[in-house]
């Protein structure tokens, strides 16, 4: 056999194994039984060799060392003889407290070895069995429930009377206490003396004087009834030390065993307490000593006792000392594996294994509720074993706290949960287990008596829900199962009666037995292999509730936080200066109208006060209105609970923000900041992570205020959301108000109706967050947070700048033309410019080139608004482009160029790059247009103006990208076409008005022709600018006519005429577009006459300006008529052949025919616009064919 674990070694600290696992596998009569044992703790001194007593030694005489301490014996009560005291009814709890890691997971049973032996002997013994069973996770705790002792107590205190009556009904007789016989005390006395003789160093029996004979007949010290009774604590008593620190006490329940052993019997893992004396035996490393009366043979029960004791302690041999009437006769050595085969006591180890497995399965299948006290009972002489749920029976009759097991169970549940919480990050699958342990713990506790444990348990429950993790965690890490309260409970349905599952039915039981949870009808069933094999597999982890969304998760957290706060508050003595808050009365949420709020100036003061207060946190000021003592458990717990609630409200606010429920989001962030305010009032020093969290809260608050400002149309709905409050929120606020007024952040969380105020509040929130990062030196530790805050500051300053800029534009629009720029406008410009400048600095400080470019672009737009405001105030006939306009437009150009420099190249952000280019092009175009239309001739020469206009137009073209395909491309093409048109018109005008320098005239002629050509080519690409295209073509005709006027030869004039007619023919595309739009309009009218009545005669639903079309058509007809007439005259008068007789006649004939048709058409005033266009298109078609011939003949 293997050596006993830890033989000869000093006792280690409790909780540590003395040696690596030692085990033995026994082969007994062909039946294999696997058994191994690890000593987790031993308080015994090193083993002493036993002294073999001489024959005829009289054990009735006490040895000299009897009941005395010595170095060999170790400290009192933990001698190598074992602890003589009777084990307490709560002994398993003492062990569980010491080996908390094992409870709930690895170990199936925790109990005294005596209880294990008693259970395994049930089928062999007629004696009664009475045990209390408790479940903690997958672990069962077994303790002796001494009914007689309990009822002795009941008769003195009045407790448990209901159980006494129930018990009397059960055994159907009047209860009476059995007294132990003299023989019992005699046997105990000689055993005690035998053991003391066996450790005597010199081996000689040293009798003491006969005066000590009084010990022989009376009970051995420590065995009295009084000593036994004192082991029962009063129901639900709690030491004061526990109320101060949940970990400071084990409810007075100590682990009194000499050894705690982790015993594995087959597949059953047990934590067992043993007090069996173990001796060294020379060549035997460990033996157990037994004293037997030679006249009484060893029976099966004794044999099982000896065998199990040796297995549990892993002792390989048994030394038996036989005596007759106390006189030693002989010694005998028996190996442990031979014990089952002893004469008169042989038994099957396989059967013992089956009994163990059946009992464990029976208990695990039926003791399903954590926190409940179950009673396993077998009456003396009975074959029926019954299991009762005492907790349920107790609650039906009396206060649950009359159960003396309530408090130890609650403490153990709490301790196991605490232990698992320390390791919770290692494996989240235990979250459900922890939650169930804590919920069952809370069911057992009374708030008035155990506020600290309740508060702590609720805080731990709230900690299980990860607020800062993605939602997917809910469904991936935890099994989807709604069973949350009874997570360890097996299925509720009872299994039908069958041989496989055992008989759990109580339908045939006597009337009194209907209270039993389960019954074993015959102890013989326990010997049948796998008779009670549990079909219910114990779940390795219990189900965690699946939260269908962030709000549900946060609400669960807040519910636990509230329960914790209630426990803390109820334990704090009130001084009387605080009026009791009525939880049913809602706390009004402050709502200010802009007329009373005081505006941005008031905000500045509040910000200053806030930052001053934030600074004071560094100095360690704190105050609690409720009178909590700093450093007390209430103080520490309330801080944790408040911070947790603040985080939950923050997450709720963030979720509401995503759903665009901005009123709700503001309400939640208000609650989060009120929690934070209270935390600040209590906390002596702010931790960096708490300050970072405050920054996050203020940043989110700023975001919400900005969203409220941008969605002013839904203000009524947001106000309703903001003012709504749940009862839970009210109660949490009441708890906060016990400590502070919660008004420090009121400036940030009030819902204003003024847009400017909302934007200002948003900005101040970001500024406050930034200031906290600065003065707390958190900027470098949290670079991401720092960048986010600066980005938001830049963004809100842009928003405020745009707000003031738009206000300035609105004031400018409302201002009468005759008035000068008002002071209000100038103030708005300054505010807007200041905001843009600060925003640009914010973005540049974090190298955000794109956003900096956007703000520079907005500053450019502001400059253009300033320029527009400075246009000359005199009547239009005197209007000139002023120096102030030029100044501001040039400033705008500078800012746009800065924006482009900030971006560097288009690849950085193509959309922003294109936008800045467009704005720059627009600015140059506007400047050129204004200089061209309102030329400052009083200050500048015509040539200088023309030069400046030309330069500005060319720069506008430079930044007008007509080639890149984008949504803005048609606009760019239209802009470029317009620029070319304007430049051509300008050179055309110069040519008309210029006299003298022929070289310059020729240059202008070439430039005019070039820009007209480019304008035509771009307008032809556009399908929505027929009027502009037509206008350019008419100007080209006029340009040709102007050239023709200066020509002298008929051939030259004729060439120019045909060129002009060719231009008119090319205008056919514009007329086709106009016709298409008019036909579409006509069809629309025929479909819906009612809508036709509402259409203005000058406007088409397609966007065509009919008045413009009519005007251009009349000019076109007039010029066409003139050109045709001139061509007819020239062709008729000239003698020159045009490529041949036939060609000249054909051209002349066609022109005459077209001219004739045109005259008739223009003479008819009743023709519609569409008909006139049809005529023109028809005539242009004829001319197109004619031009092919004429162009070939004219040289």
Contact status, residue 33 vs residue 266, Cβ threshold 8 Å = yes
The pLDDT value given to residue 597: 45
In sequence order, the β-bridge partners of residue 878 are none
Which of 242-256, 987-1001, 1157-1171 has the lowest average pLDDT? 242-256
φ, ψ at 478 (rounded to 5°): -110, 140
The pLDDT value given to residue 424: 58
**Given a cut of 70, is residue 893 above it in pLDDT?**
yes
Instruction: Provide the pairing of β-strand 327-335 with 317-324.
Output: antiparallel
Share of the chain above pLDDT 90, in %: 18
Residues 6+ apart with CB under 8 A from 414: 246, 437, 438, 441, 453, 456, 457
* Highest mean pLDDT (candidates 248-262, 601-615, 748-762): 748-762
Measured from the Cβ of residue 282, the count of other Cβ atoms closer than 10 Å reads: 10
- Burial of 572-589, coded b for 16+ CB within 10 Å and e otherwise, reads beeeeeeeeeeeeeeeeb
Contact status, residue 25 vs residue 314, Cβ threshold 8 Å = no
Contact status, residue 229 vs residue 87, Cβ threshold 8 Å = no
Task: List, for residues 769-786, the tens digit of each pLDDT value.
Answer: 998 888 777 777 788 888
The pLDDT value given to residue 276: 86
HEC string for 686-703 = CCHHHHHHHHHHHHHHHH
Contact status, residue 605 vs residue 762, Cβ threshold 8 Å = no
Residue the block writes with tokens 């105020």? 757
Q: Which two tokens stand for residue 1125?
A: 């007439």
Average pLDDT over residues 881-890: 90
In the structure, what pLDDT confidence band is assigned to residue 1141 with cuts at 50, 70 and 90?
low
Residue the block writes with tokens 């036994």? 228
Please report, for residues 616, 651, 1078, the alpha-carbon distance to residue 692 in angstroms, rounded to integers and kept in the order given.
17, 15, 66
Residues 6+ apart with CB under 8 A from 352: 33, 120, 304, 308
**Given a cut of 90, is residue 890 above it in pLDDT?**
yes
Average pLDDT over residues 492-520: 47
pLDDT: is 1099 or 721 the higher one? 721
Contact status, residue 655 vs residue 664, Cβ threshold 8 Å = no
Instruction: Provide the pairing of β-strand 139-144 with 22-28.
Output: unpaired
Nearest Cα residue to 458 out of 689, 732, 727: 732
Angle at which helix 1050-1066 crosses helix 1106-1133, to 10 degrees, equals 150
Instruction: Using DSSP, state whether 519 is helix, strand or coil.
Output: strand
Q: Is 847 left (phi over 0), alpha (psi -120 to 50) or beta?
A: left
Contact status, residue 1073 vs residue 1103, Cβ threshold 8 Å = no
Residues 6+ apart with CB under 8 A from 1174: 1075
Task: List, for residues 1162-1194, the tens digit of each pLDDT value.
Answer: 888 778 888 888 888 888 888 887 666 555 544
Which runs of consecutive H residues, i.e. helices, occur in 398-531? 406-422, 431-444, 451-464, 473-476
Contact status, residue 635 vs residue 624, Cβ threshold 8 Å = yes
pLDDT: is 998 or 826 the higher one? 826
Task: List, for residues 1007-1044, the tens digit of each pLDDT value.
Answer: 888 988 888 888 888 888 888 888 888 888 888 888 88
φ, ψ at 270 (rounded to 5°): -130, 140
The pLDDT value given to residue 402: 63
Task: Report how far residue 938's alpha carbon sits from residue 919's, in angstroms, rounded to the nearest whole number.
Answer: 30
Task: List, for residues 74-121, the tens digit of each pLDDT value.
Answer: 544 444 455 545 556 678 888 888 888 888 778 999 999 899 999 888
The pLDDT value given to residue 239: 33
The pLDDT value given to residue 557: 92
Nearest Cα residue to 216 out of 185, 180, 179: 185
Task: List, for residues 546-581, the tens digit of each pLDDT value.
Answer: 666 788 889 999 999 999 999 988 888 643 344 455
Nearest Cα residue to 562 out of 635, 459, 667: 459
Nearest Cα residue to 795 out of 768, 819, 762: 762
Global pTM reads: 0.72
| Number of residues in the chain | 1195
The pLDDT value given to residue 830: 94
The pLDDT value given to residue 872: 55
Contact status, residue 96 vs residue 412, Cβ threshold 8 Å = yes
Instruction: Provide the pairing of β-strand 109-112 with 139-144.
Output: parallel
Helix (H) or strand (E) holding 648: helix 633-658
Contact status, residue 242 vs residue 255, Cβ threshold 8 Å = no
Contact status, residue 327 vs residue 59, Cβ threshold 8 Å = yes
For residue 339, the 8-state DSSP code is G
Task: Report how far residue 1138's alpha carbon sits from residue 799's, in angstroms, rounded to the nearest whole number.
Answer: 72
Query: Positive or negative CA dihedral for 402, 404, 406, 407?
Result: positive
Greatest pairwise CA separation for the chain in angstroms: 176
Angle at which helix 451-464 crosses helix 633-658, to 10 degrees, equals 30
Q: How much helix, strand and coil, in percent to the nearest 5, is found in the chain?
A: 55, 10, 35
The pLDDT value given to residue 509: 41
- Rounded to 10 degrees, the C-alpha dihedral 567/568/569/571 comes to 90
Average pLDDT over residues 379-403: 76
Residue 915 exposure: Cα atoms within 13 Å on the Cβ side: 16
Contact status, residue 673 vs residue 748, Cβ threshold 8 Å = yes
Residue 306 exposure: Cα atoms within 13 Å on the Cβ side: 30
Task: List, for residues 630-687, the tens digit of each pLDDT value.
Answer: 888 888 899 999 999 999 999 999 999 999 999 999 999 999 999 998 898 888 777 8
Average pLDDT over residues 447-467: 86
At residue 1132's C-alpha, the angle toward residues 1131 and 1135, to 5°, is: 80
Task: Report how far residue 364's alpha carbon sits from residue 348's, in angstroms, rounded to the nearest whole number.
Answer: 25
């Amino acid at each position: 056999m293997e050596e006993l674990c830890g033989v000869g070694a000093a006792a280690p600290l409790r909780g540590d194994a003395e040696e690596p696992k030692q085990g033995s596998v026994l082969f007994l009569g062909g039946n294999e039984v696997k058994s191994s044992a690890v000593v987790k703790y031993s308080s015994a001194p090193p083993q002493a060799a036993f002294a073999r007593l001489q024959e005829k030694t009289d054990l009735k005489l006490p040895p000299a060392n009897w009941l005395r301490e010595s170095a060999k014996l170790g400290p009192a009560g933990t001698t190598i003889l074992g602890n003589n005291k009777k084990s307490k009814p709560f002994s398993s709890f003492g062990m569980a407290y010491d080996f908390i890691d094992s409870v709930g997971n690895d170990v199936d049973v925790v109990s005294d070895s005596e209880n294990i032996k008693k259970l395994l002997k049930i089928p062999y013994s007629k004696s009664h069995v009475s045990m209390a069973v408790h479940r903690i996770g997958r672990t069962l705790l077994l303790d002796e429930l001494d009914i007689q002792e309990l009822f002795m107590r009941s008769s003195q205190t009045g407790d448990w009377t209901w159980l006494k009556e129930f018990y009397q009904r059960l055994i159907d007789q009047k209860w009476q206490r059995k007294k132990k016989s003299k023989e019992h005390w005699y046997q105990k006395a000689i055993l005690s003396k035998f053991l003391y003789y066996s450790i005597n160093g010199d081996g000689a029996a040293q009798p003491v004087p006969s005066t000590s004979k009084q010990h022989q007949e009376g009970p051995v010290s420590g065995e009295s009834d009084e000593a036994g009774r004192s082991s029962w604590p009063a129901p639900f008593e709690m030491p004061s030390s526990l109320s101060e620190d949940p970990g400071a006490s084990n409810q007075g329940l100590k682990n009194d065993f000499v050894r705690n052993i982790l015993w594995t019997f087959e597949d059953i893992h047990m934590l067992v307490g043993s007090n069996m004396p173990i001796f060294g035996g020379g060549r035997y490393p460990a033996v157990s000593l037994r004293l037997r009366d030679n006249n009484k043979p060893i029976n099966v029960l004794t044999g099982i006792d000896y065998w199990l004791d040796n297995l549990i302690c892993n002792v390989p041999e048994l030394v038996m000392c036989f005596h007759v009437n106390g006189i030693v006769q002989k010694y005998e050595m028996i190996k442990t594996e031979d014990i089952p085969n002893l004469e008169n006591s042989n038994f099957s180890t396989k059967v013992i294994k089956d009994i163990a497995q059946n009992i464990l399965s029976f208990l695990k299948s039926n003791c399903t509720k954590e926190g409940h006290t179950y009673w396993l009972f077998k009456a003396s002489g009975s074959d029926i074993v019954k299991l009762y749920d005492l907790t349920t029976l107790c609650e039906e009759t009396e206060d649950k706290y009359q159960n003396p097991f309530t408090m130890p169970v609650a403490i153990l549940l709490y301790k196991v949960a605490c232990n698992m919480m320390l390791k919770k990050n290692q494996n989240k699958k235990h979250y459900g287990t922890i939650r169930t342990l804590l919920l069952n713990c809370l069911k057992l506790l009374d708030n008035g008596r155990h506020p600290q444990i309740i508060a702590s348990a609720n805080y731990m429950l709230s900690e299980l829900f990860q607020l800062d993790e993605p939602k997917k965690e809910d469904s991936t890490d935890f099994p989807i199962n709604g069973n949350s309260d009874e997570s360890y409970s097996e299925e509720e349905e009872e299994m039908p009666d069958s041989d496989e599952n055992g008989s759990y039915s109580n339908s045939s039981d006597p009337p009194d037995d209907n209270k039993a949870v389960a019954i074993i009808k015959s102890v013989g069933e326990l010997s049948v292999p796998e008779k009670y094999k549990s079909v219910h597999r114990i779940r390795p982890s219990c189900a965690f509730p699946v939260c269908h969304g962030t709000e549900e998760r946060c609400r669960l957290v807040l519910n636990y936080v509230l329960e914790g706060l209630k426990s803390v508050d109820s334990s704090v003595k009130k001084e009387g200066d605080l009026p009791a808050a009525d939880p049913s009365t809602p706390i009004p949420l402050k709502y200010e109208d802009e007329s009373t709020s005081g505006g941005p100036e008031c905000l500045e003061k509040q910000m200053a006060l806030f930052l001053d207060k934030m600074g004071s946190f560094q100095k360690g000021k704190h105050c609690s209105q409720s009178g909590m003592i700093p450093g007390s458990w209430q103080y520490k717990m309330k801080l944790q609970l408040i911070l947790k609630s603040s985080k939950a409200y923050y997450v709720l606010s963030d979720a509401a923000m995503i759903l665009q429920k901005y009123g709700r989001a503001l309400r939640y962030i208000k609650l989060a900041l009120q929690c934070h305010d209270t935390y600040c009032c209590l906390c002596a020093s702010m931790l960096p992570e708490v300050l970072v969290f405050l920054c996050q809260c203020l940043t989110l608050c700023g975001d919400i205020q900005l969203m409220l400002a941008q969605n002013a149309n839904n203000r009524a709905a947001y106000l309703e959301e903001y003012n709504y409050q749940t009862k839970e929120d009210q109660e949490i606020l009441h708890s906060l108000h016990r400590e502070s007024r919660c008004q420090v952040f009121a400036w940030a969380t009030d819902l204003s109706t003024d847009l400017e105020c909302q934007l200002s509040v948003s900005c101040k929130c970001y500024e406050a967050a930034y200031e906290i990062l600065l003065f707390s030196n958190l900027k470098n530790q949290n670079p991401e947070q720092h960048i986010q805050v600066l980005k938001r500051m830049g963004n809100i300053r842009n928003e405020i700048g745009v707000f003031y800029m738009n206000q300035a534009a609105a004031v400018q629009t409302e201002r009468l033309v005759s008035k000068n720029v008002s002071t209000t406008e100038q103030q708005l410009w300054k505010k807007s410019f200041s905001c843009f400048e600060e925003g640009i600095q914010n973005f540049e400080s974090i190298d955000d080139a794109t956003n900096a470019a956007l703000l520079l672009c907005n500053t450019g737009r502001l400059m253009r608004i300033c320029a527009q405001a400075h246009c000359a105030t005199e009547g239009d006939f005197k209007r000139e482009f002023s120096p102030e306009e030029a100044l501001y437009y040039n400033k705008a150009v500078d800012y746009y160029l800065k924006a482009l420099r900030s971006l560097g190249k288009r690849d950085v952000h193509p959309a922003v790059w294109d936008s800045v280019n467009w704005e720059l092009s627009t600015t140059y175009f506007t400047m050129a247009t204004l200089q061209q239309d309102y030329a400052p001739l009083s200050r500048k020469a015509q040539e200088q103006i023309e030069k400046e206009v030309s330069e500005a137009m060319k720069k506008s073209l430079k930044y007008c990208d007509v080639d890149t395909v984008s949504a803005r491309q048609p606009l760019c093409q239209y802009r470029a076409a317009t620029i070319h048109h304007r430049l051509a018109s300008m050179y055309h005008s110069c040519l008309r008005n210029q006299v003298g320098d022929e070289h310059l005239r020729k240059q202008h002629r070439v430039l005019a022709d070039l820009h007209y050509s480019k304008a035509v080519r771009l307008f032809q690409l556009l399908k929505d600018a027929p009027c502009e295209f037509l206008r350019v073509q008419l100007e080209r005709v006029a340009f040709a006519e102007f050239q023709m006027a200066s020509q002298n030869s008929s051939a030259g004039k004729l060439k120019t005429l045909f060129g002009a007619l060719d231009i008119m023919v090319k205008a056919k595309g514009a007329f086709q577009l106009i016709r298409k739009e008019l036909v579409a309009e006509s069809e629309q009218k025929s479909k819906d006459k009612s809508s036709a009545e509402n259409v203005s005669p000058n406007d088409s639903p397609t966007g065509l300006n009919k008045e413009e079309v009519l005007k251009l058509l009349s000019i076109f007809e007039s010029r066409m008529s003139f050109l045709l007439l001139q061509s007819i005259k020239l062709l008729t008068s000239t003698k020159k052949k045009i490529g041949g007789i036939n060609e000249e006649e054909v051209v002349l004939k066609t022109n005459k025919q077209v001219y004739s048709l045109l005259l008739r058409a223009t003479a008819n005033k009743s023709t519609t616009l569409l008909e006139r266009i049809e005529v023109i298109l028809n005539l242009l078609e004829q001319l197109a064919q004619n031009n092919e011939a004429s162009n070939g003949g004219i040289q």
